[in-house]
Structure formats: C-alpha cells, structure tokens
C-alpha cells in the first residue's frame, strides 16, 4: 500500500513578511528579500527525490495571490487593481497577508485518516481551518476545492469541510499515525496545544482535534497535549518536535506535556512501538527547532526508513552528530539520510515535513486520485521549465504593492493551471 506524498508547489508570491507569531524562523527573516523561483525549484527537487525513492508523489497547487476576494471581505472595493492599490496604501501588512504563499505547507492543508482506521472504510480528509493566523485563514476554500477535485471518487474518499471556526485546526502537522503497515488499522494521535499564558499561541485546539477524529470515525484515537514549553521555544506545530512513521516515533524528549503518559499510552496501544528520541543533553531543544530535525520527512523505503532533512540539520553540530548515531544504530529502522537545500521555505519556518501531506492509499484508491495532481519525471521537467519562465526571481517587501508583480503572479498561476489542464471553473474561480 503506497503512501502518496502531496507537496505544495511554492507559489510565485512567496515572500518574507513575518506573519506568524511564534514561528521563530519566519519572525527572524521578516523583511528579507525572497527568491520565489528558487523556492519553487527547491520544492520540485524534493518531489523528484521522493519519486526516485519509489514513492508516489503528487502536488497541490499554489493559491491565487494576492487574494482580492479576501480583501473584498475586508472592505476594499472596485476592480482588482483598485482593491490592491487601496490595500497597499491603507495597510501594507494586510497586503502582505493577502499575498502570502503559505499554502505551500500542505502538512497544514488537511488531516488525513486512511481507510484502515475509519469506521466506514473510506479515506477521510478534513480541510484545516487555520484560523489562528489571519494570513493562513484564507487558505481553506481553495484547499477544499483542490481536495474535492483530486479526491472526487466517493467510493474511496470523503473530503470534509473545515472544523467550525471557534476552534483552531492546523491539519496533519498535529497528527501522527502508528500502524505496522499503511494498510493495517492504525492508532491516530491528535496532538493539541493549550495556551498557558506564554507569549506564543497554541494553534491546535483540543476540540478541533476531537472534531476531526469524530468526523472521520477514527476507531483508535489518542489525544495528546503538546508541551507548552516547546510551543514557547518555537514549536508552533507538533511536527517541529515529533513525527511518526510505521510504528516509529521520532521525537524530542521535550515534545509532549506529559512524556511518561504519552509513551506509556503508545507502548500499550501500538504493537511493536519503537522510539527514537533525542534527549535535551544530546540535542538542546533550541537546536532541534532551529535545525528542524524532527521536521524530517520520514519515508518507508525498501530496506528501512529514509529521512529527508534540511541542510540546517547537517549544519547544526549537535543535531548532525546525533543523527549519525541514529543511522548507525542497528536497533532502529532509520538507515538513510538525504539532505536537501530547502532554505527558501525554511526561512519562513517550513521544513521537509511541512511541505508534504501524506495520504496512505490502497493501489485501487491511488488509481482513483485525479491524475492531474500526480507527478512523474516528465511532468516535473515541465513544471521546472514553467517555474523558470514565470516565477519572479526576487520579492522585497515593497514589491508586493507593485502592479507588475501582481500581474506576473496572476499570469504564473494561469500558466500553471493550463499546464496541468485544470480549468479555473473546476476550482470555483
């Protein structure tokens, strides 16, 4: 049973506006000049690597930005050009939010429960509402439209509306699954945060986690609180400090509010549970977070587990030393480390695992996915050429109000839809 990786193609308006409170990398890089073309090419290289490892790889599309529809809901009127000019004059930070390419982090697109885990035997996907951050709260309508198109076959899939907006839901970034094989019934772990008065917000509400588990009919669900100390250190999503694959938990010892109870529950409920955990003595939490060690994309390959890591992991001494030990230690299945330059995404706080949504599927269900969302080498070649031709090379904060840049982003988006043979009406445009 293959696990489809759906990566977000980085959009042409990718920029650094420091919009996410609690996301240390994004805050540190606020105001820097971005390189959208390079960012998209870095993402495509990662997709190519996953394909070469023998896994099915697909993509979700960047959303239309700047989002004039959203700005209309904020009181701007007139033709698109007037809306954008008025917003640039009144509230440049709001224009930056309307221009964010944050849909690239598809680990926040939805939560996925594979067919083996659900009461009705369908693969369930709930689109994340992302209400904690205004610039991300505009993503769900386009995400819903894309997922409804990609997973239209109701014999296999159920795509749900987002959780009601009172309760923040950030999707698969706060969800882990433990199962001996993708086809076997799994234990789904929903990790939530609770605000305890710190400077940084908890973005996943426990009620949102419960709502998703309920809507999906998850047979074996476990709800675990993230450590507030980890949130306050910059782990705004659980997948910055913990990730699972198969029966393995790969995590930092400071990830969960109650480490002992969490591990005991996993031991009790996951047959063959395995733990690869970094102690704070070996890898200080701050190093784990700045290097995005636990945001590695863990992939099952023929002879074990491969990790796709960002370059920052190789460059952080404590992290790299610990990883060598993990790889050499024969008692765990991790035996391949692939290091990739994903700096453009990393500078906004998005690592390898943030860039992909995992969808474990039977061969039959995979064949039912709309093929326009799936990749092969040839389509990757064509997408690279498209990005080279249409994506801007650089965006400085002041450029966001430039009508020429806005027109270039719109043209790039149209060219992408044409390349994938997706008609705008199919996405409700």
Residues with a catalytic annotation lie at 170, 237, 354
Stretch that binds ligand SUG, among 18-26, 274-282, 316-324, 409-417 (CB under 6 A): 18-26
When the beta carbons of 131 and 222 are compared against ligand SUG, the nearer one is 131
When the beta carbons of 311 and 327 are compared against ligand SUG, the nearer one is 311
Give the number of residues in contact with ligand SUG, rule: CB under 6 A.
23
When the beta carbons of 11 and 182 are compared against ligand SUG, the nearer one is 11
- In the range 189-248, which residues lie near ligand SUG by CB under 6 A? 236-237, 239-240
- In the range 327-356, which residues lie near ligand SUG by CB under 6 A? 348-350, 354
Is residue 17 a contact point for ligand SUG (CB under 6 A)? yes
In DSSP terms, which residues pair with 306 in a beta bridge? 299, 336
When the beta carbons of 64 and 156 are compared against ligand SUG, the nearer one is 64
When the beta carbons of 68 and 102 are compared against ligand SUG, the nearer one is 102
Is residue 34 a contact point for ligand SUG (CB under 6 A)? no
Helical pair 80-90 and 403-420, crossing angle rounded to 10 deg: 130
In DSSP terms, which residues pair with 274 in a beta bridge? 248
In DSSP terms, which residues pair with 160 in a beta bridge? 126
Is residue 18 a contact point for ligand SUG (CB under 6 A)? yes
Q: Minimum distance from CB of 65 to ligand SUG (Å)?
A: 11
Among 9, 26, 159, 266, binds ligand SUG (CB under 6 A): 26
Interface mask toward ligand SUG for 96-115; x: CB under 6 A: ----x-x--x-xx-------
Q: Minimum distance from CB of 50 to ligand SUG (Å)?
A: 17
Among 23, 118, 129, 406, binds ligand SUG (CB under 6 A): 23
Q: Minimum distance from CB of 175 to ligand SUG (Å)?
A: 10
Is residue 310 a contact point for ligand SUG (CB under 6 A)? no
Is residue 71 a contact point for ligand SUG (CB under 6 A)? no
When the beta carbons of 222 and 241 are compared against ligand SUG, the nearer one is 241
Among 37, 124, 136, 175, binds ligand SUG (CB under 6 A): 136
Is residue 19 a contact point for ligand SUG (CB under 6 A)? yes
Q: Terminal CA-to-CA distance of the chain, rounded, Å?
A: 35
SS (HEC) of 277-288: EECCCCCCHHHH
Q: Minimum distance from CB of 215 to ligand SUG (Å)?
A: 21
When the beta carbons of 32 and 51 are compared against ligand SUG, the nearer one is 32
Interface mask toward ligand SUG for 169-188; x: CB under 6 A: ----x---------------
Query: What are the structure tokens assigned to 189, written together?
Result: 């772990």
| CA-to-CA separations, 122 to 78, 147, 262, in angstroms, rounded | 44, 15, 28
Is residue 290 a contact point for ligand SUG (CB under 6 A)? no
Is residue 20 a contact point for ligand SUG (CB under 6 A)? yes
SS (HEC) of the chain: CCEEEEEECCCCCCCCCCCCCCCHHHHHCCCCCECHHHHHHHHHHHHHHHHHCCCCEEEECCCCCCCHHHHHCCCCCCCHHHHHHHHHHHCHHHHHHHHCCHHHCHHHCEEEECHHHECCCCEEEEECCCCCCHHHHCCHHHHHHHHHHHCCCCCCEEEECCCCCCCCCCHHHHEEEECCCCCCCCEEEEEECCCCCCCCCCCCCHHHHHHHHHHHCECCEEEEEECHHHHHCCCCCHHHCEEEECCEEEEECCCECCHHHHHHHHHHHCCCCEEEEECCCCCCHHHHHHHCHHHCEEEEECCEEEEEEEHHHHHCHHHHHHHHHHHHCCCCCEEEEEEECCHHHHCCCCCCCCCEEEEECCHHHHHCCCHHHECCHHHHHHHHHHHHHHCCCCECHHHHHCHHHHHHHHHHHHHHHHHHCCCHHHHCC
Handedness of CA 380, 384, 385, 390 (dihedral sign): positive
Q: Minimum distance from CB of 294 to ligand SUG (Å)?
A: 10
When the beta carbons of 156 and 174 are compared against ligand SUG, the nearer one is 174
Stretch that binds ligand SUG, among 15-23, 70-78, 312-320, 411-419 (CB under 6 A): 15-23
Is residue 14 a contact point for ligand SUG (CB under 6 A)? no
Residues in contact with ligand SUG by CB under 6 A are 16-20, 23, 26, 100, 102, 105, 107-108, 133, 136, 173, 236-237, 239-240, 348-350, 354
């Amino acid at each position: 049973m293959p696990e489809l990786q759906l990566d977000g193609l980085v959009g042409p308006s990718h920029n650094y506006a420091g919009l996410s409170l609690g996301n240390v990398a994004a805050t540190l890089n606020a105001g820097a000049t971005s390189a959208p073309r390079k960012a998209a090419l870095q993402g495509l290289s990662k997709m190519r690597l996953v394909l070469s490892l023998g896994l099915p790889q697909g993509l979700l599309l960047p959303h239309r930005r700047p989002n004039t529809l959203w700005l209309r809901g904020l009181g701007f009127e007139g033709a698109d050009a007037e809306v954008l000019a008025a917003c640039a004059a009144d509230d440049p930070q709001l224009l930056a939010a309307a221009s964010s390419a944050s849909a690239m982090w598809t680990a926040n697109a939805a939560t996925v429960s594979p067919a083996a885990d659900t009461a009705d035997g369908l693969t369930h996907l709930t689109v994340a509402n992302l209400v904690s951050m205004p610039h991300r709260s505009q993503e769900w309508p386009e995400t819903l439209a894309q997922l409804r198109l990609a997973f239209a076959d109701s014999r296999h899939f159920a795509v749900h509306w987002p959780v009601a907006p009172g309760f923040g839901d950030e999707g698969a970034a706060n969800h882990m699954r433990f199962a001996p094989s993708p086809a076997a019934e799994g234990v789904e772990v929903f990790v939530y945060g609770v605000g305890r008065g710190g400077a940084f917000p908890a973005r996943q509400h426990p009620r949102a986690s419960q709502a998703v588990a309920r809507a999906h009919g998850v047979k074996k669900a476990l709800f675990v609180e993230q450590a507030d100390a980890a949130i306050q250190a910059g782990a705004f999503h659980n997948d910055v400090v913990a990730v699972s694959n198969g029966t393995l938990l790969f995590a930092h010892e400071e990830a969960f509010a109650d480490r002992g109870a969490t591990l005991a529950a996993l031991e009790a409920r996951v047959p063959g549970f395995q733990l690869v955990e970094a102690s704070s003595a070996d890898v200080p939490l701050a190093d784990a977070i700045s290097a995005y060690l636990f945001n590695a994309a863990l992939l099952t390959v023929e002879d074990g587990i491969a990790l796709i890591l960002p370059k920052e992991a190789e460059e952080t001494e404590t992290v790299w030393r610990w990883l060598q030990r993990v790889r050499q230690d024969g008692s765990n299945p991790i035996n391949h480390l692939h290091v990739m330059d994903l700096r453009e995404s990393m500078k906004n706080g998005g690592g390898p695992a943030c860039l992909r949504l995992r969808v474990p599927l039977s061969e039959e269900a995979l064949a039912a996915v709309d093929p326009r969302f799936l990749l092969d080498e040839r389509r990757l070649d064509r997408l690279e050429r498209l990005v080279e031709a249409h994506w801007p090379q650089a965006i400085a904060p002041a450029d966001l109000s430039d009508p020429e840049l806005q027109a270039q982003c719109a043209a790039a988006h149209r060219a992408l839809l044409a390349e994938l043979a997706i008609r705008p009406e199919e996405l409700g445009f």
